[in-house]
Amino acid sequence: MKENNLNEKVWQLMKKIPRGRVTTYGMIGRKLRTKAYRAVGQACKKNPYAPHVPCHRIVESNGKVGNYSGRGGVARKIELLKKEGIKVKDKRVENFEKVLYKF
């Protein structure tokens, strides 16, 4: 089922994010040639491909972890990232530039 919306594109893109890496809403938006960074966030929130799409690997462009609608909220997101080797301090990703996956 393909949708003409950004949703499907976003999901396909975030599936490519390797483990132990993160990306930003801005990166995805730029890759899709769109300024609707908000729509990217909406796609994550909606994401029907739940465990198939690692939306927890998406952070804000300023290095902040951002938000999370899953169980436990942002705290849960941080734990998942830490499990993958990404260190988060005070909702901020350490070595942000190094773990950032660029498209």
From candidates 13, 17, 40, 86, binder to DNA by CB under 7 A? 40
Specify which residues 59 forms β-bridges with. Answer: 24
Per CB under 7 A, 91 contacts DNA:
no
C-alpha 6/C-alpha 76 separation (Å) is 26
Helix axes 37-46, 6-14, angle to 10 degrees: 70
Residues annotated catalytic, as ranges: 55
C-alpha 57/C-alpha 84 separation (Å) is 10
Binding pattern for the stretch 48-77 against DNA, x by CB under 7 A and - elsewhere: -------xx-x-xxx-x-xxxxx------x
Residues at the contact surface with DNA, assessed by CB under 7 A: 4-7, 24-26, 29, 34-47, 55-56, 58, 60-62, 64, 66-70, 77
